[in-house]
Amino acid sequence: MIITRTPFRMSFFGGGTDMSDFFNVHGGAVISTTFDKYCYVTVRHLPPFFDFKNEITYSTIERTKNIDEIVHPAIRNAMKLLNMSEIRLTYEADLPARSGLGTSSSFAVGMLNAFHSLNGTYATKKQLSDEAIYLEREMCKEAGGWQDQIAAAFGGFNRINFYDNTYKVTPIIISKQRKELLNKNLMMFFTGFTRFSSDVQKANASGTTDKTKQKLEMLRLVDEAQKVLQSENSNLDDFGYLLNETWNLKRQTGSAISTNSIDELYEKGIKAGAFGGKLLGAGGGGFLVFFVNPEKQDAVKRAMKDLLYIPFEFENVGSTVIYYDPEE
């Protein structure tokens, strides 16, 4: 039996510039972090006593006699990619799917990590992210960027640059105290709305307006945010103001990014004392994150009284095997 634990991610700056059709022309970059909310994938070989060959448990239970009967596209294609058969797989998570935290990509990375381990092979973080990108974007034909798979595999607080069909992961080097201060100034709330990221991406791509200008400006803000983070002389509150700026740009890149309800919630947070914030992920719902000084956080909680507040801490590990009992 193998159990993997893979973190979810929150992306602060540059989201959308990690789409290959954009970064292969203009370059791309994001600043993101993983945090201490995870998905867990358990995999073992199915004992030979059943009239089915595979048992897959997520929000439903699938029992099939061959791989092609598996409905879940990521599981079906991942099994084909790594030549898996006759398995029992279980997925569970700390947070809901389709909520803007890269949950589907975290699952893909964790599943591939578990499959490699069950096969007795070690996969590097880069191998896991490369395979997850190929699985979701090529085999499953899901619209989206590359940052989620990379963040889930590598873990940590990073700048990820994209260019020429490849990428580079660079840790954001800041003092422990400054990183803890950033963490203390961030608040996350669940809006209750969920959606498929690929559906939002398709809806936004269907528009006729060119979004290149906004994305280039969002790319510039990645550099600005990194300067704020890494300069001890910079006021960390500027990180919050930049979040507000990038969110306003993001809203201009597609009709499915925000809704009237989300806009109202965001304005309540700002009026209560947040310097800035954004909806995490492709848009359309999920989690709101705000940058709020500690003395204003109670006021923001009151303003978000109808939403679930989710405390969190940054994590640095990425996808890991937490239980390894290889089968003979």
Number of domains in the chain: 2
Tell me, yes or no, whether 9 and 144 share the same domain. yes
Planar angle of CA 32, 34, 36, nearest 5 degrees? 150
User: Helix (H, G, I), strand (E, B), or coil: what is residue 213?
Assistant: helix
Q: Which pLDDT value is given to residue 200?
A: 44
Tell me, yes or no, whether 34 and 164 share the same domain. yes
Cβ contact 301:274 at 8 Å: no
Residue numbers of the chain with a pLDDT score lower than 50: 195-204, 206, 208
The pLDDT tens digits of the residues spanning 221-268 come to 999 999 999 998 999 999 999 999 999 999 888 776 888 889 999 999
Pick the closest to residue 253 from 32, 12, 86, 16 (CA basis). 16
Please give the residue range of the domain that contains residue 225.
Answer: 176-312
Q: Which pLDDT value is given to residue 232?
A: 85
Tell me, yes or no, whether 196 and 276 share the same domain. yes
Cβ contact 278:249 at 8 Å: no
Which CATH number characterizes residue 77's domain? Answer: 3.30.230.10
Tell me, yes or no, whether 223 and 136 share the same domain. no
The pLDDT tens digits of the residues spanning 286-324 come to 899 999 999 999 999 999 999 999 999 999 999 999 999
Cβ contact 277:245 at 8 Å: no
Instruction: Report the alpha-carbon distance of residue 54 to residue 88 in Å, rounded.
Output: 6
Would you put residue 37 in left (φ > 0), alpha (ψ -120 to 50) or beta? beta
Tell me, yes or no, whether 202 and 281 share the same domain. yes
Tell me, yes or no, whether 166 and 296 share the same domain. no
Pick the closest to residue 249 from 286, 214, 285 (CA basis). 214
- Residues whose CB is less than 8 angstroms from the CB of residue 273 and which lie 6 or more positions away in sequence, other chains included: 292, 293, 296, 297, 299, 300
Pick the closest to residue 258 from 203, 188, 186 (CA basis). 203
Instruction: Report the alpha-carbon distance of residue 298 to residue 310 in Å, rounded.
Output: 14
- Residues whose CB is less than 8 angstroms from the CB of residue 192 and which lie 6 or more positions away in sequence, other chains included: 285, 307, 308
Which CATH number characterizes residue 268's domain? Answer: 3.30.70.890
The kind and range of the H/E element at 246 are helix 237-251
Tell me, yes or no, whether 79 and 138 share the same domain. yes
Tell me, yes or no, whether 197 and 134 share the same domain. no
